[in-house]
Amino acid sequence: MNATVTSLAYRTDLMLLTLQGSHVEERDDHLVVRTPANPTFHWGNFLLLAAPPSPGTAAAWIDTFRREFPDAAHVALGVDGTTGAAGDPTDLAAAGLSVERSTVLTATTLHAPARPNTAATVRIAETDGDWAQAVALSEATNPGFDPAAYREFVTHRVAGFRDLQARGHGAWFGAFEDGRLRAGLGLFTDAQGLARYQTVTTHPAHRNQGLASTLVHAAARHAQAHWSTETLVIVADPTYLAIDLYRALGFTDTETQIQLQTDPV
């Protein structure tokens, strides 16, 4: 199934995960994705179903997940496809599965932001201090989680980004003011024409200053100049205002990604 994943979102998810050492095991009707380096990362440890669950099978898919991940505190089932089909709503609800639909946007080139931020210095992370600030930024923008558990998760996640950058598979970009990180994002690639954005984040105290749009645009220019990127991919919550920022830069809606879970991240 790995070679025939139709979802651009999941294709790029798998691209980045495997570059970071995740394992993908093929079954007849699903993939098992494991990330030993970050076992609490829900979407690094999940099943990717070849099609939406048939009516009456949602609970069985949860059992399959539990067999594959007996120590996991979560259940995460991805559904391959592009249209947003998730399965029978009644069956999913009875099994305790929530449905998350994300919009997958693509672009070949981006417009300059209408109101770029010219006060911040935009550059690629370089020092241990830069990467430590990336962890702190993520913590500041996700205060609702258990602090210790979330710090463990995000520390592993940022370490994975740092490793990708060190091996030439993209970069993590930050917007700094007086040495302090105000916004950040990752843009990573397998050098085959696709580049996928990760964790576009602005500190709550520094939003509405053009930092995110400036970073997204700067990262795209770098990717096209240095990595021969042909298609930029970003995945967004369709109900959150950031999606309008991406559209204003030139991204267009391409498909819908489906995630089923019992313990939303």
pLDDT single digits (tens) 134-164: 999 999 998 878 889 889 999 999 999 999 9
The token duo for 33 is 């994705």
* pLDDT(218) > 80: yes
The pLDDT value given to residue 4: 87
* Residue 170: CB atoms within 10 Å: 28
- pLDDT tens profile 73-128: 999 999 999 999 999 999 999 999 999 999 999 999 999 999 999 999 999 999 99
Q: Where residue 263 falls among pLDDT bands split at 50, 70, 90?
A: low
> Which one-letter amino acid corresponds to residue 171?
A
Condensed to tens digits (0 to 9), the pLDDT of residues 247-260 reads: 999 999 999 999 99
pLDDT of res. 76: 98
Q: What is the CA radius of gyration of the chain?
A: 18
Which domains, from first to last, does the chain contain?
Answer: 2-103 (no CATH), 121-229 (3.40.630.30)
Residue range 233-249, pLDDT digits in tens: 999 999 999 999 999 99
pTM for the whole structure: 0.94
pLDDT given at position 265: 43
pLDDT tens across 36-74, in order? 999 989 999 999 999 999 999 999 999 999 999 999 999
Q: Please compute, for residue 22, the number of CA atoms within 13 A of its CA located in the half-sphere on the CB side.
A: 28
Residue 19 to residues 12, 37, 107: CA-CA distances in angstroms? 11, 12, 23
